[in-house]
Amino acid sequence: MAASIPVILLIDDEPHSLSAMKMALEDEFEILTAGSAEAALEALEENWVQAIFCDQRMPGRSGVDLLTEVRERWPETVRLIVTGYTDSQSMMAAINEAGIHQFLTKPWHPEQLLAAARNATQMFALARENERLSLEMRFLNATSQSRVEKRRQALREGMGFEAILRSPTSAMNDVVRAARHYASFDVPVLLTGDAGVGKQQLARAMHYGSLRSDKPFYEVNLAGLSDELAMIELFGAKRGVLPGGVARIGLAQKADRGTLYLAGIEAASPGLQLQILRLVREGSFTPVGGQETMTTTLRLIAGAASDVRILVGEGRFRADLYYALAVGEIAVPPLRARRGDVAMLAQSLLAEVAATHGKPVRGFSAAALEFLENYDWPGNLRELSNEVTRMLIFGEETTLGAELISRPILQAPPGDEGADRTAEDAMAGTGALKERVELFEMRILRETLTRHRWNKSRAAAELGLSRVGLRAKLDRYGVTHPAAQEEES
């Protein structure tokens, strides 16, 4: 039986836009069109739709409003927004309320639209297969469960670059674009960036975007490993070297014809650097305790949390190894340089941890997303993941509010330039004592009110102030409820 053609619904009140989108997609997909929200809902009730492309600005009802209802009634349908506007507030609302998978900006290119449609329908198919596997696992024994879990993991990993969440204006777009180019060429690549920025995820995406995608992907972090352990992990060991008299196969051999990701390459000792150089240049290595030379055809991707060129200049890293690894070099930006991405990442992390811990939750409040977006995240994705997990643990409602956020983040008030560091400047800088103390007082007021959900009586009691005294300080510093700021804008 032949597989059915995926069905895509296009929603736009402008007929020429519908016609252009249909022309770009109709060769590969069955296309339904709707010129209004009402027509779209009728089409969804009568057809099995895999993906929706919806214009954001339509008379009567916005795309986000419509797709929010679609999320409630047909949650498995993949939802995409087409818009000429990419302001962060509307994007956060779309992510939180409608669960938007991707934004497409106008004017779009036919190839861009086609690629988005392919990815969306593939995601729909993967979700359906994932659901089937979940049901299957209930009736399988432990051995079968292990096999099914490997298949599920392969399905998740097979999404490659599409698993790297980012907004249309994200600094990660250029990174992913460069990584896609390097992925299709069998050359070493060096990924640089702060700890926790997602270098490992990018390396994995490059593997699944390459001709080696059906071969294994292995990774190891050299940071913290002794020279001997790193050698054994990479190149293996002959019988008699390890306790118990057993031989050990190294990752260089396991990753043959596949990809090996070496994180923490800057931590490699001079001796290990020489062995890695041999592996990159010649594809050869010698197991620990052995004499024979073995060969491998692996592809090497390396990751470094510091600028390797500086280490080369200081004599702490071999220049020849740096140039061998950096045929392609990609700098992965930290979260503080990815304004607009944090809301998407937080929502995705929340879905993961909620599923892991079996706690139903819908998302974040708009105020919570604003605080998360405007924090610098020195710990990058790891710190964000920890914060989301903590909010889930303490949350008592399905929507997680700003009062659950940790104090250091609450004390960084929203602003166009990101987290407010004026209090730190006051501590380290100069100036009148009164002015420097007032900076701290302003931030403490905002943080305390947020934790108490802007209940001024409770906040005043905690701070040892009367309601009149609290109101006077709020007026003095211009501290207002976030909802009031939205009404003024």
Could you write out the DSSP letters of every residue in 84-142? S---HHHHHHIIIII---EEEESSPPHHHHHHHHHHHHHHHHHHHHHHHHHHHHTTS-H
Domain parsing of the chain, residue ranges: 7-161, 172-332, 337-488
Alpha helices in 138-193 (DSSP H): 142-157, 172-183
Q: Measured between alpha carbons, how far is 468 from 183 in angstroms, rounded to an integer?
A: 63
Domain 337-488: CATH class, spelled out: mainly alpha
Amino acid letter at 334?
P
Q: Per-residue pLDDT for 481 more than 80?
A: no
Mean pLDDT score, 261-284: 95
Residue 155 is predicted with a pLDDT of 46
Contacts of 390 by beta carbon, 8 Å cutoff, 6+ apart: 404, 406
At 421, the pLDDT band (50, 70, 90 cuts) reads: very low
Q: What is the DSSP letter of 192?
A: E
Q: Measured between alpha carbons, how far is 117 from 120 in angstroms, rounded to an integer?
A: 5
Q: Measured between alpha carbons, how far is 184 from 386 in angstroms, rounded to an integer?
A: 34
Find out whether 25 and 111 touch, Cβ atoms under 8 Å. no
Q: Could you tell me the pTM of the whole model?
A: 0.59
Strands (E), 322-418: 328-331, 363-364, 399-400
Q: Per-residue pLDDT for 10 more than 80?
A: yes
Residue 98 is predicted with a pLDDT of 76
Residue 86 is predicted with a pLDDT of 63
Find out whether 254 and 296 touch, Cβ atoms under 8 Å. no
Q: Of all helices (H) and strands (E), which one includes residue 223?
A: none
Q: Measured between alpha carbons, how far is 100 from 58 in angstroms, rounded to an integer?
A: 17
Find out whether 126 and 101 touch, Cβ atoms under 8 Å. no
172-332 and 337-488, same CATH topology: no
Mean pLDDT score, 44-68: 88
Per residue in 58-78, pLDDT tens? 888 888 889 988 988 888 899
What percent of the chain is modeled with pLDDT above 90? 42
CATH architecture of 172-332: 3-Layer(aba) Sandwich (3.40)
Residue 414 is predicted with a pLDDT of 47
- Per-residue tokens: 348: 């995705």
At 224, the pLDDT band (50, 70, 90 cuts) reads: confident
At 43, the pLDDT band (50, 70, 90 cuts) reads: very high
Residue 248 is predicted with a pLDDT of 86
Per residue in 107-161, pLDDT tens? 888 888 999 999 899 888 887 777 677 666 655 544 554 555 555 455 444 457 8
Bridge partner list, 52:
9, 79
Residue 442 is predicted with a pLDDT of 73
Mean pLDDT score, 11-27: 92
Mean pLDDT score, 95-106: 80
Cis omega (within 30 of 0) for bond into 15: no
Q: Measured between alpha carbons, how far is 254 from 285 in angstroms, rounded to an integer?
A: 13
- Report the relative pairing of strands 299-304 and 189-192 from DSSP bridges: parallel
Q: Alpha carbon 95 to chain centroid distance? A: 13
CA-based radius of gyration for the chain: 26
Q: Per-residue pLDDT for 485 more than 70?
A: no
Can you tell me whether residue 260 is helix, strand or coil?
strand
Residue 153 is predicted with a pLDDT of 54
Mean predicted lDDT score pLDDT of the chain: 83
List the single range of 303-317, 350-364, 449-463 with lowest mean pLDDT. Answer: 449-463
Q: Per-residue pLDDT for 429 more than 60?
A: no
C-alpha distances out from residue 191 to 127, 185, 194, 326, 426, Å: 30, 16, 10, 9, 36
Residue 420 is predicted with a pLDDT of 44
Long-range contacts for 57-62 (Cβ within 8 Å, ≥24 apart)? 57/83, 57/84, 57/85, 58/11, 58/12, 58/13, 59/13, 60/36, 61/37
Higher-confidence position of 290 and 190: 190
Residue 149 is predicted with a pLDDT of 55
Q: Measured between alpha carbons, how far is 22 from 289 in angstroms, rounded to an integer?
A: 64
- Per-residue tokens: 253: 């051999």
Q: Measured between alpha carbons, how far is 303 from 250 in angstroms, rounded to an integer?
A: 19
Per residue in 389-408, pLDDT tens? 999 999 988 899 888 998 87
Residue 431 is predicted with a pLDDT of 60
Find out whether 28 and 114 touch, Cβ atoms under 8 Å. yes
Residue 125 is predicted with a pLDDT of 85
CATH classification for the domain delimited by 7-161, as one of 3.40.50.2300, 3.40.50.10190, 3.30.300.30, 3.40.50.970: 3.40.50.2300
C-alpha distances out from residue 441 to 4, 406, 419, 446, Å: 63, 18, 17, 9
Bridge partner list, 192:
304, 331
Can you tell me whether residue 31 is helix, strand or coil?
strand
b/e burial code for range 396-424 (CB count within 10 A of at least 16 → b): eeeebbbbbbeeebbbbbbeeebbbebbe
Q: Measured between alpha carbons, how far is 483 from 444 in angstroms, rounded to an integer?
A: 19
- Per-residue tokens: 358: 């079996």
Residue 422 is predicted with a pLDDT of 46
User: Where is mean pLDDT largest: 196-210, 232-246, 429-443?
Assistant: 196-210
Residue 282 is predicted with a pLDDT of 94
Q: Per-residue pLDDT for 415 more than 50?
A: no
